[in-house]
């Protein structure tokens, strides 16, 4: 128990406890995140620190490329293992930006988690596992407390999420898309 300056015990009651703003729920109320579906997820580094990658290139001759830091390489390794740990989850696409990651995930097979994973698999479990494995390997927590998600509703929504993931580095760093052609693909080096 914490000690007061006079050596006695320090008691904290609800009346004198510090107040923090209430967190807004980030998950859709009454939605079952273990049901079959596609999800667009954003996971941010703590304090949005640019510790996962850098963007190189981005001039008239070289398209921007994502260059992963050591921490980014660890994150990528564990993203690529999601399909192995969870038989009913597929990582369709991802990009690791300097201070956040985007993942496009499918959960397919309600209640069919593998022996290595809890069953049924839900989105929060997958993202919590990813963050935990990266944290253990890095040796400290690098993540914001929660994550953001969008439930993909149809093929058009899926295509928008796919393109946003593919071309986010271009948008993020100011290179404008030409109206007459698709932007150059972002390479991960």
Q: Give pLDDT, residue 182.
A: 44
What pLDDT shows up at residue 147? 92
Report the pLDDT value the prediction gives residue 121, as an integer from 0 to 100. Answer: 79
Q: What is the pLDDT of residue 19?
A: 61
Positive or negative torsion for Cα 148, 152, 157, 162:
positive
Cα atoms in the Cβ-side hemisphere of radius 13 Å centred on 127: 25
Segments making up each domain of the chain, as ranges: 37-173
- For residue 161, the model assigns a pLDDT of 93
Record the pTM: 0.72
H-type alpha helices, 29-149:
70-85, 123-138
Task: Report the C-alpha gap between 189 and 61 in whole angstroms.
Answer: 17
**Distance (Å, whole) CA 156 – CA 24:** 28
What's the CA gap between 118 and 123, in Å, rounded? Answer: 12
Mean pLDDT by 10 residues, the chain (189 residues): 54 56 56 76 95 82 85 97 90 94 86 52 91 96 92 93 82 47 45
CATH topology of domain 37-173: Alpha-Beta Plaits (3.30.70)
């Amino acid at each position: 128990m914490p000690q007061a300056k006079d050596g006695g015990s320090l008691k904290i009651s609800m009346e004198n406890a510090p107040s923090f703003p209430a967190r807004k729920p980030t998950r859709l109320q009454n939605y079952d995140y273990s049901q079959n579906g596609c999800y667009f997820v954003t996971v941010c580094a703590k304090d949005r620190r640019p510790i996962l990658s850098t963007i190189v290139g981005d001039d008239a001759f070289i398209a921007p490329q994502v260059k992963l830091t050591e921490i980014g390489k660890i994150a990528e390794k564990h993203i690529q293992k999601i399909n192995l740990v969870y038989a009913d989850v597929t990582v369709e696409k991802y990009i690791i930006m300097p201070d956040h990651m985007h993942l496009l995930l499918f959960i397919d097979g309600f209640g069919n988690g593998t022996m290595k994973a809890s069953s049924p698999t839900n989105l929060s479990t997958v993202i919590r596992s990813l963050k935990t494995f990266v944290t253990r390997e890095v040796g400290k927590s690098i993540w914001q407390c929660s994550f953001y998600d969008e439930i993909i509703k149809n093929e058009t929504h899926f295509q928008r999420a796919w393109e946003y993931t593919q071309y986010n580095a271009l948008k993020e760093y100011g290179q404008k898309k030409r109206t007459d052609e698709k932007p150059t693909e972002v390479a991960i080096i």
